[in-house]
């Protein structure tokens, strides 16, 4: 058909439609679309809609032909109203908001060139190719509208064309798509550029997509060369928007519908599967948020283990809040925080993180990382120690995983142990000794030693260990200071005005150490007196009722008549008493007479 004949036919049909749509001709067909009904005319519909022509030809009588039901047209009554306007030649605007609906409705109603020249299918395709798919934001909008028009949107390849256009344009716009190869490994690239990751302007637009469409877009982007570590900000935006509203810090009964819980579970598992494999591509805080949501939504075990491993690899970058993961025990019988998850995170760090740093040899200071992890875990132990539901086995098991080389001092561990003893007052002596064995008393600071010496919650043996090591340290400092000062010849007269201040400052420091030494001696003496009282009580309990009070009073009198300090040196007395206590489980070097051994409480 020539172009002239097409124009003539089109103008004739337009005039006919205008005449029919006027008030002079009554409607002869009623179309029911869902709950809406349209009183129309057969001629304009039959001239353009192959489906309506087919339905009317299949009707048995005129009454059936006057009523047509189209229950499942894509887009519903709104889409049919626009197609009816197109059949009548009434002008309306095509836009990115309605083009997907028009294209699918035209396909459903069979509005092709077979029935009319420049029918709705051709018009819609022209708008898609020339307008809608030329802009990134427009393509995303069309894809979003197509999600409600499945499966016919897939059949006309509307979804696949939108995804391909989005992937192409994002790779053109983004800084993370480069065909040139690099000699550096992915891990090195991420370490250098992770701090410079910027969210592209189009990332916010992608968050309106459904999770299956979002996943297909990201896969198409990577197929076109988009760097996977560049997906981090996009995934973070999508997760924050789609998982919003989860009460991941709540206790008690879940306040979420089962259908909504299933949808969010699918979203979360898909996001985790799309996370970049490069180290440091995602922040630890974001991974912690995902892990909280995964535990709350009860995702697959593989999903949770994957997040725990990722957190373990970046544990030196974590802060205390990242590890305070609620247990989400809705019975109220379990501990407040999920200590098992943190234990697995620490094990992943020790197994993969430390070994990876050693093998990579990329300039990362393993010692500083270990020290940061040690302080972090000590703070975590102190935080969970106040929870009465944290069992002794869990507390000790988690504390024993902390590497010794990561603990420069034992102050953090002592703080955690002290809080645990305070929160669990019903522990027996054996359990207290197990808890206190987690810390090395030799590595306590002077302030911690002073606190521990007066801490009634600690076992007696632990207090004696603290006092003993502090005494040894003070003696060592005094000895080193005296040895570090070599004998000097008489100073000349010119320097006489300079040296006396140095000597006086040294003497002041030495006198200060001596005063502290005397104070510590008094503390040890008090402990010795307490130990003697304990010995007396044990002797009274073990003695038989037949022993007379006259026989026991000499012992008491003799013990009270002893001088406060023995004539031998102070260190000999401390060694003798510590040998009796045997707090370190070491066999004493000096042997004691058998008569002294019966007073041992070890």
pLDDT tens digits for 57-107?
A: 877 665 666 788 888 889 888 898 898 888 888 888 889 999 999 999 999
396 vs 401: CA distance, rounded Å: 9
Intervals of the chain under pLDDT 50: 1-10, 12-17, 19-20, 23, 179-197, 484-485, 487-503, 544-571, 573-575, 577-602
Give the helix ranges, DSSP H, for 282-365: 284-297, 301-313, 320-323, 339-348, 354-360
b or e along 534-558 (b: 16 or more beta carbons within 10 Å of the residue's beta carbon)? Answer: ebeeeeeeeeeeeeeeeeeeeeeee
**Per-residue pLDDT at 530:** 75
137-160 residue pLDDT tens:
999 999 999 999 989 999 999 999
**Which class for 500: exposed (0-12), middle (13-18), buried (19 or more C-beta within 10 A)?**
exposed
Q: Which CATH class is domain 3-131?
A: alpha beta
Handedness of CA 208, 213, 216, 221 (dihedral sign): negative
**Per-residue pLDDT at 24:** 57
Domain boundary assignment for the chain: 3-131
**Per-residue pLDDT at 384:** 92
Q: What is the mean pLDDT of the chain?
A: 75
Contacts of 382 (CB under 8 A, 6+ apart): 412, 415, 416, 419
**Per-residue pLDDT at 328:** 74
42 vs 20: CA distance, rounded Å: 10
Q: Between the CA of residue 237 and those of 134, 209, 232, 244, 297, what are the distances in Å?
A: 25, 12, 9, 11, 19
Q: What does pTM read for this prediction?
A: 0.70
For residue 311 the two structure tokens come to: 């957190």
CB 197 within 8 A of CB 253: no
**Per-residue pLDDT at 326:** 87
Compute φ and ψ for 207, nearest 5 degrees.
Answer: -70, -10
Handedness of CA 65, 71, 72, 75 (dihedral sign): positive
**Per-residue pLDDT at 517:** 67
**Per-residue pLDDT at 251:** 56
For residue 79 the two structure tokens come to: 């889409």
For residue 563 the two structure tokens come to: 């001088």
284 vs 290: CA distance, rounded Å: 10
């Amino acid at each position: 058909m020539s172009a002239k004949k097409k124009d003539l036919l089109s103008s004739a049909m337009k005039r006919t439609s205008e005449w029919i749509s006027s008030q002079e001709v009554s409607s002869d067909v009623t179309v029911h679309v869902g709950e809406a009904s349209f009183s129309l005319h057969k001629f304009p519909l039959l001239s353009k809609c192959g489906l309506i022509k087919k339905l009317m030809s299949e009707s048995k009588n005129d009454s059936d032909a006057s009523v047509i039901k189209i229950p499942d047209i894509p887009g519903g009554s709104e889409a049919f109203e626009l197609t009816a306007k197109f059949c009548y030649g009434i002008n309306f605007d095509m836009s990115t908001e309605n083009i997907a609906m028009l294209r699918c409705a035209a396909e459903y109603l069979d509005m092709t060139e077979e029935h009319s020249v420049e029918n709705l299918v051709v018009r819609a395709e022209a708008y898609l190719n020339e307008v809608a798919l030329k802009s990134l934001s427009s393509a995303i909008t069309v894809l979003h509208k197509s999600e409600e028009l499945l499966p016919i949107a897939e059949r006309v390849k509307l979804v696949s064309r939108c995804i391909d256009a989005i992937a192409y344009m994002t790779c053109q716009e983004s800084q993370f798509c480069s065909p040139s190869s690099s000699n550096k490994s992915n891990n090195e690239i991420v370490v250098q550029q992770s701090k410079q990751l910027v969210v592209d302007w189009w990332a916010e637009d992608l968050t309106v997509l459904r999770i299956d469409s979002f996943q297909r877009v990201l896969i198409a982007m990577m197929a076109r060369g988009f760097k996977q570590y560049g997906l981090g900000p996009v995934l973070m935006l999508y997760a924050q928007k789609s998982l919003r509203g989860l009460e991941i810090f709540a206790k008690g009964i879940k306040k979420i519908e089962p259908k909504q819980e299933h949808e969010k579970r699918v979203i979360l598992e898909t996001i985790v599967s799309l996370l970049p494999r490069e180290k440091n591509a995602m922040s630890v805080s974001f991974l912690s948020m995902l892990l909280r949501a995964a535990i709350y939504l009860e995702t697959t075990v593989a999903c949770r283990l994957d997040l725990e491993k990722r957190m373990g690899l970046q544990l030196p970058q974590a802060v205390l809040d990242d590890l305070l993961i609620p247990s989400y025990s809705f019975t109220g019988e379990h501990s407040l925080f999920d200590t098992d998850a943190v234990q697995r995170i620490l094990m992943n760090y020790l197994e993969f993180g430390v070994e990876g740093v050693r093998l990579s040899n990329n300039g990362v200071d393993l010692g500083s990382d270990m020290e940061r992890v040690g302080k972090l875990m000590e703070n975590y132990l102190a935080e969970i120690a106040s929870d009465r539901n944290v069992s002794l086995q869990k507390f000790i098991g988690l504390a024993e995983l902390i590497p010794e080389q990561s603990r420069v001092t034992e102050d953090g561990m002592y703080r955690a142990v002290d809080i645990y003893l305070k929160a669990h007052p019903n522990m027996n002596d054996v359990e207290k000794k197990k808890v206190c064995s987690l810390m090395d008393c030799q590595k306590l600071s002077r302030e911690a030693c002073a606190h521990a010496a007066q801490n009634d919650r600690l076992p007696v043996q632990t207090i004696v260990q603290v006092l003993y090591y502090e005494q040894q340290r003070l003696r060592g400092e005094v000895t080193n200071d005296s040895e570090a000062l070599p004998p000097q010849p008489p100073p000349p007269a010119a320097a006489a005005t300079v040296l006396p201040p140095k000597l006086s400052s040294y003497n002041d420091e030495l006198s200060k150490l001596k005063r502290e030494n005397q104070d510590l001696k008094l503390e040890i003496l008090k402990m010795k007196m307490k130990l003697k009282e304990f010995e007396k009580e044990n002797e009274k309990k073990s003695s038989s009722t037949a022993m007379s009070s006259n026989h026991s009073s000499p012992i008491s009198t003799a013990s009270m008549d002893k001088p406060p300090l023995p004539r031998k040196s102070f260190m000999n007395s401390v060694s003798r008493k510590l040998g009796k206590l045997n707090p370190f489980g070491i066999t004493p070097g000096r042997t004691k007479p058998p008569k002294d051994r019966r007073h041992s409480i070890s």
